[in-house]
Amino acid sequence: MSVVVRPVNSRDLSDLFSLSKEFVLLNLPPNKKALESMILLSEKSFAKEIEKDKREYIFVVEDLFKKRVVATSKIVTKKGTPEDPNIYYKVYKKEKFSKSLGVGFIHQMLKYCANSDGDTELGGLVVAKNFRGHPNKIGKLVSLSRFLYLAVHRQDFKDRLHTELAPPLNSEGQSEFWEAFGRRFTGLPYDEADRLSHLDKEFITSLFPESEIYASLLDPKARLAIGQVGKVTEPALKLMEKFGFVYKNEIDPFDGGPHMGVNTDEAEPVKSLKSYEVYFKDQISSDHEMVLLGGFDTSSIQSASKKGDAGEFDGSSFRAVSCKPEIQDSKIIITNEMNSSLNFVEGQKVFVVAFNY
């Protein structure tokens, strides 16, 4: 088995920094101090050392041959609090009709909104460029692992799931929506405004218009970008749709990218969660269905009587892999080789969600 999903830890700093330099992403900034803070917050979240609504969990995919991190994903327990509201524009339609002219129009409208009682957000999905198209389907693996973890720890997360997708960018890497809208009200380039918004949203609440906005007043290129995704984001959009997410008629206030959501218990991976007792063989048939298998590494547990219930382990011991196990009633059988990266013990409780979407 060449890769495993696990929680991030402090030893991953150098790998995350290298990964961050492949992209221009605020959820993985090329700044070691910022990355150190993100790692520490994630470690405290998995250890349940901070209150639920402030937890942010980072998952990584480790290439076991090269001993390095090649992908990340993230869960934010609550996106939108009184101290840090989730700001977005609601997208809706308004009809206008003139009797004297016999002419009517249906306008696309935008309305400023701020949510201080937010949903659980799934984000931070980053895959190293040379691992895209990998036979282990790295993006799907690290994305699904979040669902398995939150399904097992369902009580720690909200009743709705939220995700935000990246919009199309022009040939210069700019957001047409920001250039036509946000820049006019802030005077800032997109990257700078987005960076500042992660530190303090005061300038947004003070400068952005709160009244209705007619999208028809925007540049046509900006108008066509509202609620759309870029080419590189299309696979993520299709995957989230398969998971049950739908467009919420909400967009990012900076780049116009779409917001999607689903009831947590109605998300397809959450609904597919099953538990088994795990056992091992030297060999099993490869004709079985691919699944995502997850559980808790018992190597740091003193008592072998532990059976793997989620509440018995520090969240940092979470491990997940994609594999083709043999399933017999309440038992799941994997090879000893598969278990080498998981450190499960026979009879331990493990968890499975569907992988083929």
CATH of residue 335: 2.40.40
Examine the domain organization and report whether 85 and 197 are in the same domain. Answer: yes
Q: Are residues 267 and 205 in the same domain?
A: yes
**Domain shared by 209 and 282, yes or no:** no
Q: pLDDT band at residue 223, thresholds of 50, 70 and 90?
A: very high
- Check if the beta carbon of residue 163 is closer than 8 Å to that of residue 245: yes
Domain end, chosen from 239, 271, 303, is at: 271
Is 260 part of a structural domain of the chain?
A: yes
Q: Assess if residue 57 is contained within a domain.
A: no
pLDDT of 7 strictly over 90 = yes
3-state SS, residue 238: helix
Contact by Cβ (8 Å): 24, 77:
no
In a domain, residue 59? The reply is no
Spatial contact of 275 and 349, defined as CB atoms under 8 Å apart: yes
Which two structure tokens, joined as six digits, stand for 190?
């997109």
Closest by Cα among 23, 30, 209, 36 to 125 = 23
Q: Bridge-partner residues for 76, per DSSP?
A: 56, 121
Q: Are residue 166 and residue 277 in the same domain, yes or no?
A: no
pTM (whole model) above 0.75: yes
Residues 164 and 225 in one domain: yes
- Domain match, 229 and 261 both: yes
What is the token pair recorded at 51? 């209150």
First to last CA, the chain: 21
Has residue 306 got a pLDDT over 70?
no
Average pLDDT on 205-223 reads: 93
Residue 61: which H helix or E strand, with range?
strand 56-63
Does residue 48 fall inside a structural domain?
no
Instruction: Look at the chain and report how many structural domains it folds into.
Output: 2
In terms of domains, do 218 and 235 share one?
A: yes
Select from 335, 329, 321, 336 the least CA-distant residue to 290: 321
pLDDT of residue 289: 94
Range of the domain at 85: 81-117+159-271
* pLDDT tens, position by position, 40-94: 999 999 999 999 999 999 999 999 999 999 999 999 999 999 988 999 999 999 9
The pLDDT of residue 312 is 59
- Reading the block at residue 186, the tokens are 């802030």
113 and 254 belong to one structural domain: yes
Q: Is residue 298 part of a domain?
A: yes
Q: Is the pLDDT of residue 25 over 80?
A: no
Residue 14 lies in a domain: no
Q: How far apart are CA 263 and CA 241, in angstroms?
A: 13
Asked if residue 308 has pLDDT above 60, the reply is no
CA angle 232, 270, 5 (to 5 degrees): 60
10 Å Cβ neighbour count for 48?
13
Stronger pLDDT, 198 or 192, i.e. the higher one: 192
pLDDT for res 304: 43
Q: Is residue 85 part of a domain?
A: yes
Q: Hey, what are 32's tokens?
A: 């070691």
Both 324 and 350 in a single domain? yes
Domain boundary among 256, 271, 286: 271
Domain presence at residue 199? yes
226, 256, 271 — which closes off a domain? 271
Query: Whole-angstrom Cα distance, residue 294 to residue 234?
Result: 27
Average pLDDT, the chain: 91
pLDDT tens digits, 156-172: 999 999 999 989 888 88
Q: What are 315's two structure tokens?
A: 């969240």
- Domain shared by 183 and 263, yes or no: yes
Tokens of residue 127, six digits:
């895959």
Long-range CB pairs of 328-331, under 8 A, 24+ apart, other chains included:
330/276, 330/277, 331/276, 331/277, 331/278, 331/279
User: Which percentage of the chain shows pLDDT scores above 70?
Assistant: 95
190 plus 209 within the same structural domain: yes
Question: Does residue 265 share a domain with residue 171?
Answer: yes
